[in-house]
Amino acid sequence: MKFEHGGDIYRLAEELKIQERKVMDFSASINPLGVSKKVKAEIRRHLKYLHNYPDPEAKRLRKYLAQYHGIDSEMILCGNGSTELIYLIPQALKPKKVLILAPTFSEYERAVLISQESGPPTQPSPSRGEGEGGGEGPISMPCAPDPIKYFMLNENNSFEIKPEEFIDAMRENKDSELRTPNSALSYDMAFLCNPNNPTGRLLKKDAVIKIADAAKELKCYLIVDEAFIDFCLGDSVINEVQNNPYLIVLRSMTKFYALSGLRIGYGVFPQPLIDVLKKYKEPWTVNNLAQRAAVVALKDKVYRDETFRLMREEKRFLEKKFKKLGIEFSFSQANFYLLRIDGAEEICKRLKIKGILVRHCSNFRGLDSRYIRVAVKSHRENTILIRELAEIKEVMKQ
């Protein structure tokens, strides 16, 4: 499987021989407001301190995150984006059997595969239990690596995640025809992206808690990646971690706060896991400016309110135009849309020639060449995208 992501404006700028700033990037789902003015001012104030090493413990940031979420700062681990933590978790915990949605963010799979190559754990793992019960959710793909099984989402159901079916998949019926030589093992880790990337579908808080409670019963670590949860107020399960020793929640400052280039994310972990993870974590991965920027970004209520206003207006605009153009789209509670459109690959090529980058989704497990993901951007950029899509569809009809 080829692992690719959006946001590679550098390659397209080189191909078209244009400046990177002239690429219109709909492939990366980043807040179109860009970095807030308050964050930029904070960064300028602290440029003179770049000769200092960053605090390896990110104590100031963790203290503020603890106040912001109402949790213990000792449960928080900051990283070079949440992606660092996605790789750190399987590296430290060495899962033997992992359940992953499809389609979803590809780095979960890659992180598990790399952890399998690095040998047995040097630290003893927490005790594992054996799950019981039934369910027919996971599919063992012919090309799938042995430790991973995939819970395939149904495109006919708009890729909705049904909690009961996911729980049944974690339990894995021992009499199921889907059993593999590894079926004697219980799942010891499962990944859940909420809202899911690239579908934009959200599981409400109660549904995620239900899955987390089942994971606790099964002694299966549930990693809930909330990279886009800031767009869905009230549905985070961060406050549940303190009550569940098998729940891990990851957060990113990339999508909502547009701090992509600074690379800042954090995870909330059951206290006993923190010391285990620190044994594998590299030092100084969160730089000075990222630590400062994150605190100011979280305090900026004006920026947050403006983001919600912009998203409401532009999502209404895009949905209306998609319907007019006859483009199918999944209902999204994040800042992007998954489109199903005939000739998607050709459309991507024609948009690229115009300097417009969208995310072709054929390399997502569970999707095919009909799918494109587009970010919600400014009204000007969204208008240009719609105009170009209309023109391309008209040309392709001829």
> What are the pLDDT digits (tens) for 247-257?
999 999 999 99
Which pLDDT score is estimated for 5?
65
Looking at residue 119, its pLDDT comes to: 53
Amino acid at 96: K
Query: Which segments within the chain are labelled E, that is strand?
Result: 24-25, 76-79, 98-102, 138-139, 148-152, 189-193, 221-225, 247-252, 265-268, 328-329, 336-340, 356-357, 359-360, 371-375
- For residue 106, what are its two tokens? 């590809």
Query: pLDDT at position 191, please?
Result: 98
Domains within the chain, CATH numbers bracketed: 9-36+301-397 (3.90.1150.10), 38-299 (3.40.640.10)
In the predicted model, what is the mean pLDDT of residues 173-197?
A: 70
Q: For position 257, what pLDDT does the model report?
A: 98
CB–CB of 26/358 below 8 Å?
A: yes
Under the banding of pLDDT at 50, 70 and 90, the label for residue 8 is confident
Model confidence pLDDT, tens digit, residues 77-133? 999 999 999 999 999 999 999 999 999 999 999 999 999 875 544 433 333 333 333
Question: How does residue 185 score in pLDDT terms, banded at 50, 70 and 90?
Answer: low
- pLDDT for 172 equals 79
Distance in angstroms (rounded) separating the CA atoms of residues 34 and 38 = 12
Name which of 217, 196, 206 is nearest 153 in CA terms.
196
pLDDT band at 12 (very low <50, low <70, confident <90, very high): confident
Residue % of the chain over a pLDDT of 90 = 82
pLDDT value, residue 1: 43
pLDDT at residue 116, as a whole number: 87
For 354-372, write each residue's pLDDT tens digit.
999 999 999 999 999 999 9
Cα dihedral angle (363, 365, 370, 372), rounded to 10 degrees? -60
| Residue range 117-161, pLDDT digits in tens | 755 444 333 333 333 333 334 444 444 447 999 999 999 999 999
* Mean pLDDT of the chain, nearest integer: 89
* Confidence tier at 204 by pLDDT (50, 70, 90): very high
